[in-house]
Amino acid sequence: MNISKFVAPEIIFGRGSLSQLGESVLRIGASKVFLVSDADVIKAGWVDLAVHYLKSAGLETEIFSSLTTNPKDCEVSEGALRYQASGCDGIVAVGGGSPTDVAKAIAILATNGGILQEYEGINKIRRPLPPMVIAPTTAGAGSEVSQFTIIVDTARKLKMSIISKSLVPDIAIVDPELVQTMDVKLAAATGLDAFTHGIESYVSLAATPLTDIHALKAIQLVSRNLRLAVADRNDMEANTNMSMASLTAGLAFSNAILGATHAMTHQVDGLIDQHHGETNASILPHVMEFNLSACPERFRDIAVAMGEDVTGLPVMEAAMRSVDAVRRLISDIGLAKGLGEIGLTEEFIPLLAENAVKDACLVTNPRPASREDIANIFRKCI
Ligand SMILES: [Fe+2]
């Protein structure tokens, strides 16, 4: 018996769609919303616009924005206390992956209590969460549609993966206007994250025809649009296509899960506070090389989706073209640096590898990877 399922929220997509926020919140039955965001998004003006739409619908708002680059357990605890004291009955996130993941984690504690570590892993959440509407301001994380939240455990210095259908928001409002204010570096890093989601979900052991459609579309859209979006931040066609890429990649990885790149990235992100997408860029090509022999036909498909001409090539050679194309993309958007350049040294590798093999994302990697395998890949990434 081969059973699969596919979960997704209601999705509202298009330029100007943030205007649907007030009506969306009313439809999920909330009267006072806890709005999670961060300082950069507030500075860009998107929180003011969101509050305007919420007020127009007669909704009260409490803003929580005490966040840093990689979302941390202590920030979630503080947010959960604020939520409980606020009298709010719904949660809205306006922001990138960090505010969104924090909003989801606050939702867990709001109705389930305890500490976040109790929910690490798959399907540990027991009680329904408060209703949620998410409006992403980056094109990469895909958290607006996913059943994931990834939070740094500050004591263990690693990222915890919490995976549950309860974490799929009620409504995702994907407005490409909002990604326009990302700077070049953030556009490159978040876009590369979406790309990594597409690749890892396409070669995942849990991939299905439903996730394949979304994964391949994401790979194709990123390949055609990320360079353009990085070169000209005002290119709204490229920004819109990157928003769609992030969305489709999110649908793919939410349902097919990820692989060794994310299992490894989560450990580095917990140790060094750089953008998750930049870490992916350092690790992804090496993991692809490791995985090639497990499913060369799938990597050949990725090469084709990236526009490579593989006509007449033996399958392994065609598959290798995907790795070459990924390296060129990473270099073109300015993210090609080794983990050594961000301060990772050999002495960290044993602990990073030990934690990576426990990460839920490794379960669906197409090739079994031991602690020693992961350590060897880390060495290549330095
Ligand atoms: Fe990611």
Ligand 1 midpoint to CA 196 (Å): 7
Task: Say if residue 312 is exposed, middle or buried (CB neighbours under 10 Å; 0-12, 13-18, 19+).
Answer: exposed
Residue 68, pLDDT score:
84
* Cα dihedral 121, 35, 251, 29 in deg (nearest 10): 100
Ligand 1 midpoint to CA 276 (Å): 7
CA gap 250, 216 in Å, rounded: 12
* pLDDT exceeds 90 at position 119: yes
What does DSSP say about strands 32-36 and 121-122: parallel, antiparallel, or unpaired? unpaired
Residue 274, pLDDT score:
84
Ligand 1 midpoint to CA 73 (Å): 18
Ligand 1 midpoint to CA 207 (Å): 17
Q: DSSP letters of 111-172?
A: HH-S-GGGG-EES---SPPPPEEEEESSSS--TTT-SEEEEEETTTTEEEEEE-GGGS-SEE
Averaged pLDDT, 47-53: 98
Residue 61, pLDDT score:
97
Ligand 1 midpoint to CA 52 (Å): 31
Ligand 1 midpoint to CA 111 (Å): 26
CATH class of 10-178: alpha beta
Residue-averaged pLDDT of the chain: 96
Residue 351, pLDDT score:
93
pLDDT in tens, 268-294: 988 888 899 999 999 999 999 999 999
Start-end of CATH 3.40.50.1970 domains in the chain: 10-178
CATH of 182-381, one of 1.20.1090.10, 1.10.3720.10, 1.10.10.10, 3.30.565.10: 1.20.1090.10
Ligand 1 midpoint to CA 293 (Å): 23
Ligand 1 midpoint to CA 55 (Å): 33
pLDDT in tens, 327-362: 999 999 999 889 999 889 999 999 999 999 999 999
User: What percent of the chain shows pLDDT beyond 90?
Assistant: 92
Ligand 1 midpoint to CA 356 (Å): 15
Q: For the beta carbon of residue 73, count every other beta carbon within 10 angstroms.
A: 19
Cβ contact 180:242 at 8 Å? no
Residue 240, pLDDT score:
98
Residue 336, pLDDT score:
82
Cβ contact 40:73 at 8 Å? no
Residue 3, pLDDT score:
84
Residue 1, pLDDT score:
63
pTM for this model (two decimals): 0.95
Start-end of CATH 1.20.1090.10 domains in the chain: 182-381
Ligand 1 midpoint to CA 142 (Å): 8
- Letter for the amino acid at 348? F
Ligand 1 midpoint to CA 71 (Å): 13
Residue 23, pLDDT score:
97
